[in-house]
Amino acid sequence: MRIAVATNLATTEENYQKLARDVDVSVRSVLARFEYVPVSALALLAQDGKVDVRLEVARNLNVDASILQGLLQDSDPSVAMVAIQALQRLHENSAQGK
């Protein structure tokens, strides 16, 4: 049920933030992958204790540069590497006017 709420476009930002703190890692992981999740929820998920969740945040197309900057310092090298690649993508897109 919570996964369905996590991927529902009618979900409020407040509820996305609650889901970002859910005890079930699968809910947090789905939320971190969801393209339309608010940046405020991604910021919470970027601090998650599970590497897989933080990786999904770094891969999320909606993530902003400030969150990615924080993930550059992640204790897991794979998270930091994905964050570097995502920042490069953002920079290239902005240079191309996208």
CA 20 to chain centre: 10
pLDDT in tens, 59-78: 999 999 999 999 999 999 99
Class in CATH terms, 2-95? mainly alpha
Spans of all domains in the chain:
2-95
pLDDT in tens, 81-91: 999 999 999 88
pLDDT in tens, 21-44: 999 999 999 999 999 999 999 999
Q: How far is CA 67 from CA 2, 5, 24, 35, 59, in A?
A: 24, 24, 22, 15, 11
